[in-house]
Amino acid sequence: MILKFKKYQGTGNDFIIADNRDGSLATLSETTIQLLCDRHLGIGADGLMLLQEKEGYDFEMKYFNADGKEGSMCGNGGRCITLFAQESGIQKKHFHFLAIDGPHEAHIRSANIVALRMNDVNSIQEQRGDFILNTGSPHFIRLVQDIEQLNVVKEGRAIRFSKEFEADGINVNFIETKKGQDIIQIRTYERGVENETLSCGTGATAAALVCFHNENGLNNVTVKTRGGKLLIEYIKMGKHQFNNIWLSGPAHFVFEGFIDLSTLNHE
């Protein structure tokens, strides 16, 4: 089979995206997806997405992690596939699509700025100074100092594969805030990739909710990832209640191509 694909990235979080509205890619195996995402044996990406038909929606987003398994919601992926949908003939600026965690809205605000509405969050668990919450994917948040010197892979892997989280996995985010600045700096270890990624949209969203600046009402928080800046806007309704959550930032087409799946090394 010849796979036609496009590569996109959102603040350095990169994805292989293919149009599966005809259903021809439904048989992609876990091993094939792993190899496609492998940065030495395939195209290379943090994940793979399929654009699919879904009655009542502009499209359905089906997301796979780099390990080949279907993943939970990916915020940067949702922003990138929205741009891909428009460039694949769905001529809109406002989209309504279905992902694994339910319906989402997405707006293309300018040529490369895409805003994605995330699901409401009604629970944050505090655990010995750390925070656990789900923004479409489960996230662990730890505040640190001198984030640039942190061994994110070592520290993140220790938490992700700890007894508490090993079975289902969790994304681990380390954040640093500086007094007098409204910008959060973040580094993320992602499950499914099992490495540090340059950006994680659901992780940036989780960090922004933990670091609100208005006790109630409208908040807007800039999160600096290693791949660029994301803006998270939301309304804080109560102690652990947040709604009207929007994740926005740049998304870019990188390149397109064809790959013969039969040439991938399956040994």
CB atoms within 10 A of CB 200: 34
Q: Do 72 and 100 contact (CB within 8 A), yes or no?
A: yes
Active site residue 74: yes
DSSP E strands, 153-209: 171-177, 183-190, 195-197
Q: For residue 93, give both structure tokens.
A: 């600026």
Q: For residue 102, give both structure tokens.
A: 């339910």
Q: Which member of 37, 80, 200, 211 is catalytic?
A: 200
- The CA distances from residue 2 to 27, 159, 174, 253, 261, in Å, are 13, 39, 40, 21, 6
Number of residues assigned to the chain: 267
CA 121 to chain centre: 16
Distance CA 217, CA 126 (A): 22
Active site residue 200: yes
Categorise residue 222: left if φ over 0, alpha if ψ from -120 to 50, beta otherwise. beta
Distance CA 237, CA 250 (A): 28
Q: Do 49 and 75 contact (CB within 8 A), yes or no?
A: no
Q: Which member of 37, 74, 80, 211 is catalytic?
A: 74
CA 213 to chain centre: 24
**Catalytic residue positions?**
74, 200
